Chain A
Amino acid sequence: MLKLEARPQPSNAMSFASPLVALLVTVLIGIVMFALLGKDPLRALQMFFWEPIRSAYAWTEIAVKATPLVLIGLGLSICYRSNVWNIGAEGQYVVGAIFASGIAMQAGADTPRAIVLAILLAGIVGGMVWAGIVALLRDRFNANEILVSLMLVYVALMVLSYLVYGPWKDPKGYNFPQTITFAAATKVPRLIEGFRLNIGVLIALAAVALAWLFMFRTYRGFALQVGGLAPAAARYAGFSSRRALWIALLISGGLAGLAGALEATGPLGQLTPYVPAGYGFAAIIVAYVGRLHPVGVVFAGILMSMFYIGGELAQSRLGLPKSLTGVFQGLLLFALLACDTLIHYRVRWRHAPRVSAATAAVAVQPAAKEA
């Protein structure tokens, strides 16, 4: 009989191994799934785990997709460590993209390159404003931040639709719901000619380093985490929970907004209704698979990015449905949460409860008495 037994100490080894075990479980379930769909599982797995990393070009594409995931995931890690449940990074991402596009649309042929800075800044501000609404409602009216942030995603999507179908629609765009293509000056500088990879990757890596320093080397970062780990201890220490709420939401909103700005003026180059690609929700998985740790978030971001690309490949080459990407991402999160049980528990194989012969011999007695 299999039995879960509490470990005296949470296992360190297991907290590292758990994401790997979860990945393995995801792959195994994936194989079964592909087989049931009548596809060759090996070919399918190849699409998800080999094709995306086959060449230098493939790697740059992973980095392009991983950049927003890592940026948003970092912010969410800080949020979740502070016990602030921001589920609406997608909305903050969209509003960041809207703010950034608002600036980018002003650019003409002779606008200096420095406008990129203003664009990115606008993206950060946009994300912060959207997250700030959540903080304000929570702070002033004790509104649940999970619901408010999630609902604001849909508000942001509506705002985006209004803009691209209405006032911001490209007059020469044959009535397609999209803005003008942004001027060349607004393009986020590319790293290597011929690849879509841009300086967003460097910004994301810098953000990883800064987030690590903030979390583990500053008093304020420490105070935030105490608020998440033990609210009573934070009150005892005198760390303000209101301040933690604002800081966590503004940081994660700002980073999501930055990701939105980078996406709108990077790979996309215009605002369309397809800006929201689910990065804000996928980043929740990134944050957790990455153990809410900046370095872990990088690896989780790369993995999720592989799933995105693999999903597209599986779609075009094998004719598998698009929703497969989401299924894979969801499977990974479920598998991880299940595997995390093993950090605090271990599985024991037990035959029968060990009892001494004397007790076992008479174990029937009280039962008989009761009957």
Chain B
Amino acid sequence: MVPPPRLELIGIGKQYPAVKANDGVNLTVAPGQIHAVLGENGAGKSTLMKIIYGAVQPDEGEVRWNGQPVAVRNPHEARALGISMVFQHFSLFDTLSGAENVWLGLEKSLSLAEVTQRIVQVARDYGLEVDPARPVHTLSVGERQRVEIVRALLSGPKLLILDEPTSVLTPQAVERLFVTLRKLSSEGCSILYISHKLDEIRALCHHCTVLRAGKVTGEVDPTRESNASLSRLMIGAEPPQLQHRDAKPGAVVLQVRGLSIAKQDQFGTDLRDIALEVRAGEIVGIAGVSGNGQQELMAALSGEDPRAGAGAIRLFDADVSRASPRARRRLGLHFVPEERLGRGAVPTLSLAANTLLTRTENVGRAGWLRIGAVEALAAALIERFKVKAGGPGAAARSLSGGNLQKFIVGREIDAAPKLLIVSQPTWGVDVGAAAQIRGELLALRDAGCAVLVVSEELDELFEISDRLLVMAQGRISPSTPTAQATIERIGEWMSGLWPQPAQPGAAHA
């Protein structure tokens, strides 16, 4: 007799006030199967996982566990059934050790020493190196994830849910994670693997359910699909191909030398002796696992953190190390931050008002606003960058993440910058909008603008950058032409292992 599926969802639906997050979703996971759930941001993956984990109650439909209908009312019941979940955003207390964090989530019958012992054993069994005694804030992101996974494994789950587990990992760490997951699968533990990274799904998963706008649009064997065919299922179209011409780098626009800044908050990263150069007409990409100093570097370059030492940051021939963001903007430096709501745009203000954050051409004499011109500018941006919005009067927070990103990137591109710095240009943006934004960045480069891009997505950096740098532990690698770089080498560099130059500061290509 064929055993019943480990988990079966039948006709699951969930209505949120504004959107139907899940609509008649069916999903069947066999024992030991690694099952991918693929979909864009907002396709309903997270809601579906929360329903399985009991964090959200479905409006309609049925959940079956080993063939038995169940109602999982909260995560506690889910864990009792044998369902564990590793969230994208870790839920660890920074000041406690890994073992203490794990201990917190367990029943109090075990002593801390026993828990530590079990952690070590599980970690050894699955090749998950963790030191349970170290406080979490001293752990790298990859190590923190391993603590989370060990915690999930301690209860001996029959189904492990992983939400975008690789977004914070180096390519090598991804490989190690896959080894662990395959071992778990071979022991009969089912795995639900949520991702939008097509290569990973094809490399790891046995089965793939594709979601689009809350509905299942395909059930396929990912090993027999191509990236293009998966992408078609996910977004309903293939992303347009980029026009890529050779770069013609011109004069140096941005020069950073010996930039060291102590971290401002406890869990930040010290910047140590950063050196880099961006020329007119080229795109320089900065790769690296997030939390390695990228945020701090961006704040120092944009002027939000004006603590750089004199002479550390030069824009054209001016020393702007201590200049305000507005002064730098006047010199032609425009910046797109990674947080759109609250930093790149004021959530409750209209798009028109939000143009005023960085665009001052509509501020008249004595600081009077030309309201008509402000609205016209917003309307023009909406038109030019195909932003889906209710018009210039729409509040920034009424836009989807991708559309707001198009608006913000458009606002800065339209300002005709001489240097554009973009942090995570396509983070959380759907594939179509991502292609559009990348195309705009390339067009800007071809028009002679210097572009610096920080991204966690290696594919993206390889696609648009002319030169690559890597940040790790607050330091920056020498630059390498993208044409000569390989994913493997950049991945090694992401752990901080790059060839040391003969003398510091001489690291420019």
Which among A220, A226, A232, A233 has the highest number of chain B CB atoms within 10 Å? A233
B60 and A236 form a contact (CB under 8 A) = no
Q: How far is the CA of A356 from the CA of B59 in the complex (A)?
A: 8
Question: Could you tell me if A366 and B73 are in contact, using CB atoms closer than 8 angstroms?
Answer: yes
In the complex, are the beta carbons of B303 and A219 less than 8 A apart?
Answer: no
CB distance B325 to A220 under 8 Å? no
- The answer to whether B343 and A232 have CB atoms under 8 Å apart is yes
Q: Is A235 an interface residue (CB 8 A)?
A: yes
Q: Distance in Å from the Cβ of A132 to the closest Cβ of chain B?
A: 22
User: Does B60 lie within 8 Å of A233, measured CB to CB?
Assistant: no
The reply to whether A218 and B369 form a contact with Cβ atoms under 8 Å apart is: yes
Indicate if the CB atoms of B80 and A369 lie closer than 8 Å.
Answer: yes
Residue numbers in B under 8 Å from A7 (CB-CB): 17
Known: A226-B346, A233-B344. A362 touches B324 (CB 8 A): no
Residues of chain B within 8 A of A217, CB atoms compared: 368-369, 371
* A236-B304 contact, Cβ under 8 Å, with A230-B342, A363-B71, A369-B80: yes
B-side contacts of A353, CB under 8 Å:
57
Does any Cβ of B come within 8 Å of A365's Cβ? yes
Contact B343–A238 (Cβ < 8 Å): no
Q: Which residues of A1-54 have CB atoms within 8 Å of chain B's CB atoms?
A: 5-9
Within B312-343, which residues are at the interface with A (CB < 8 Å)?
324-327, 329, 335, 337, 339, 342-343
Q: How far is the CA of A219 from the CA of B360 in the complex (A)?
A: 9
Which residue of chain B has its CB nearest to the CB of A231? B342
* Interface residue? A229 (CB, 8 A): yes
Main secondary structure of the interface of A (DSSP, over half): helix
Q: With contacts A237-B357, A356-B62 known, is A230 near B69, CB below 8 A?
A: no
Q: Does B96 contact A (CB under 8 A)?
A: no
Taken together as a complex, chains A and B put the C-alpha atoms of A55 and B60 apart, in Å, by 63
Contact check, A232 vs B339: say whether CB atoms are below 8 A apart.
Answer: yes
Contact A219 B369 (CB under 8 A): yes
A370 and B71 CA atoms in complex are apart in Å by: 13
Q: Is the beta-carbon distance between B62 and A358 smaller than 8 angstroms?
A: yes
A229 near B71: Cβ-Cβ < 8 Å: no
For residue A6, which residue of chain B has the nearest CB? B17
A365 contact set on B, CB distance < 8 A: 68-71
Select one of B73, B324, B345, B360 contacting A233, CB under 8 A.
B345
Is A351 located at the chain interface by the 8 A CB criterion?
Answer: no
Give the number of residues in A that approach B within 8 Å (Cβ atoms): 35
* Least distance between A183 CB and chain B CB atoms (Å): 39
Q: A residues within 8 A CB of B371? A: 217
Q: Is B247 an interface residue (CB 8 A)?
A: no
Whether A233 touches B69, Cβ cut-off 8 Å, given contacts A217-B369, A219-B369, A220-B367, is no
Question: Per-residue CB proximity of B47-81 to A under 8 Å, as 1/0?
Answer: 00000000001111111000011111100010011
CA distance in complex: A365, B63 (Å)? 13
B353 at the interface (CB under 8 A from A): yes
CB-CB under 8 A from B303, the residues of chain A are 238
Residue of B nearest to A360 (CB): B71
Residue A359 CB within 8 A of the other chain: yes
Are A359 and B17 in contact, CB atoms less than 8 angstroms apart? no
Does residue B398 face the partner (Cβ distance < 8 Å to A)?
yes
A317 at the interface (CB under 8 A from B): no
Contacts of A369 in B (CB 8 A): 80
A350 at interface by CB-CB < 8 Å: no
B363 lies within 8 A of chain A by Cβ: yes
- Residue of B17, B329, B346 contacting most chain A CB atoms (<10 Å): B346
Q: Would you give the shortest CB distance from B83 to chain A, in whole angstroms?
A: 11
Which residues of B are found within 8 Å of A354, using beta-carbon distances? 59-60
Find the A residue at minimum CB distance from B326: A238
Among residues of B, the one whose C-beta sits closest to the C-beta of A361 is B69
B311 within 8 A of A: no
- The complex places the Cα of A235 from the Cα of B71 at a distance, in Å, of 47
Q: Which residues of A contact B327 (CB under 8 A)?
A: 238
Query: Is A192's CB within 8 Å of the partner chain B?
Result: no
| Contact partners of B347 in chain A: CB under 8 A | 229-230
B16 smallest CB distance to A (angstroms): 8
Task: Report the Cα distance A355→B61, complex, angstroms.
Answer: 8
Is there a chain B Cβ closer than 8 Å to A176's Cβ? no
Contacts of B358 in A (CB 8 A): 236-237
Judging by beta carbons under 8 Å apart, are B17 and A8 in contact? Answer: yes
Contact between chains at B398 and A9 (CB < 8 Å): yes
B360's closest neighbor in chain A, by CB?
Answer: A219
Ranked 8 nearest A-B pairs via Cβ: A238-B325, A238-B326, A8-B18, A237-B357, A232-B343, A219-B367, A363-B71, A362-B69
Known A-B contacts: A232-B342, A365-B70. Give 20 more (CB < 8 A): A8-B17, A8-B18, A217-B369, A218-B366, A219-B363, A219-B368, A229-B346, A229-B347, A229-B348, A233-B346, A236-B337, A236-B344, A237-B325, A240-B324, A354-B60, A355-B60, A362-B68, A362-B70, A365-B68, A369-B80
> What are 14 A-B residue pairs whose CB atoms fall within 8 Å in the complex?
A217-B368, A218-B366, A219-B363, A219-B368, A219-B369, A222-B353, A236-B325, A236-B343, A237-B358, A355-B57, A359-B71, A366-B72, A369-B80, A370-B80
